[in-house]
Chain A
């Protein structure tokens, strides 16, 4: 039994992530997703991890620190992570995930993404083609780190069909 968890964010935040991807094109953008789990976990995966649906209520945009290869890599410093956690704490919420862009590449996690991801976090990826933001997806890494599973992006106040470019 497995249900796809939902990641909810409003139109404004969705637009901001997409705009950030366009702004930094052809380099990858990145930032933290701040929010909270919405309910007690209802889904148990085979490895025992539970996945609650969650809501993103704020973003913490960051600078891509990968000067050597910013078109196809991103990283942030541990100080950036601490700053994002502090910003979340001050709002009474948590860092629930991270976003980044894939310039001229589909919004699917790469092997490199998987190798560097953590279970539990939500990872939003927005593809940016020729400077224009297109598909946006969200993923969670399995507890055993063997695969990403998609989560449903629910954009409040917007038709989901209109959100994802075909």
Chain B
């Protein structure tokens, strides 16, 4: 089943500037696996060395966060859109201003 995977801007350097691609997959895990097969350099940015999805990477199927579904086992169907959404956080050092 063909699903569309949306690539966020910081990862397009590893997809030849493409903002989306299509892969054949029945689950989110299969889709991400297909994606990293297609674009090998993406793997280290999406997965830890032991193959787990990085904590700063969020994945949506259509408008649903897979953390609240079946995570990487979340089933996909033809025409679904998977979005990779980077976590954004930061801040000054703990000692900078307040306790």
Do chains A and B stick together as partners? yes
Cβ-defined contact, A81 with B86, below 8 A: yes
Indicate if the CB atoms of B93 and A120 lie closer than 8 Å. Answer: no
Determine how close the nearest CB of chain B comes to the CB of A55; give it in whole angstroms: 14
Contacts of B60 in A (CB 8 A): 78, 82
Q: Does A85 count as interface, using CB distance less than 8 angstroms?
A: yes
- CB within 8 A of B92: which of A82, A103, A119? A103
CA distance A15 to B72 in the complex (A): 43
By DSSP majority rule, is chain B's interface helix, strand, loop, or mixed? mixed
A99 → chain B, closest Cβ, in Å? 10
Chain A residues, CB < 8 A from B12: 120
On chain B, which size bracket covers the interface? 20 to 34
* Cα separation A160 to B89 with both chains bound (whole Å): 28
The answer to whether A112 touches B91, judged by C-beta atoms less than 8 angstroms apart, is yes
Say yes or no: B88 contacts A75, CB within 8 Å.
yes
Binary per-residue interface labels of chain A (94-115) against chain B in the complex, 1 for a CB within 8 Å, 0 otherwise: 1110101011110001111100
26 A-B pairs with CB atoms under 8 Å apart are: A30-B90, A49-B13, A69-B91, A71-B97, A71-B98, A72-B98, A76-B88, A78-B60, A78-B85, A81-B88, A82-B60, A82-B85, A85-B8, A95-B8, A98-B88, A102-B91, A102-B92, A103-B97, A104-B96, A109-B90, A112-B92, A116-B90, A118-B10, A118-B86, A118-B88, A120-B12
Tell me how far the C-beta of B40 lies from the nearest C-beta in chain A, rounded to whole angstroms. Answer: 13
Interface residues of B in 33-65 (CB under 8 A from A): 45, 56, 58, 60, 65
Question: Do residues B13 and A76 form an inter-chain contact, with CB atoms below 8 A?
Answer: no
Is A73 part of the contact surface with B, judged by Cβ < 8 Å?
yes
Q: How far apart are the CA atoms of A105 and B94 in the complex, in Å?
A: 10
Tell me whether A72 and B65 are in contact (CB under 8 A). no
- B91-A73 in contact (CB<8A): yes
CA distance A15 to B93 in the complex (A): 25
Report how far A105 CA is from B97 CA in the complex, Å.
7
Contact indicator per residue, chain B 65-99, by CB within 8 Å of chain A (1) or not (0): 10000000000000000010111111111101110
CB-based contact A113/B90 at 8 Å: yes
Q: A28-B92, A120-B10 are in contact. List 16 more A-B contacts (CB 8 A).
A: A71-B98, A72-B94, A74-B89, A78-B60, A81-B86, A82-B60, A110-B92, A110-B96, A112-B90, A112-B91, A113-B92, A116-B56, A117-B90, A119-B13, A120-B9, A120-B11
Cα–Cα distance between A73 and B93 once the two chains are bound (Å): 8
**CA–CA, A121 to B98, complex, Å?**
28
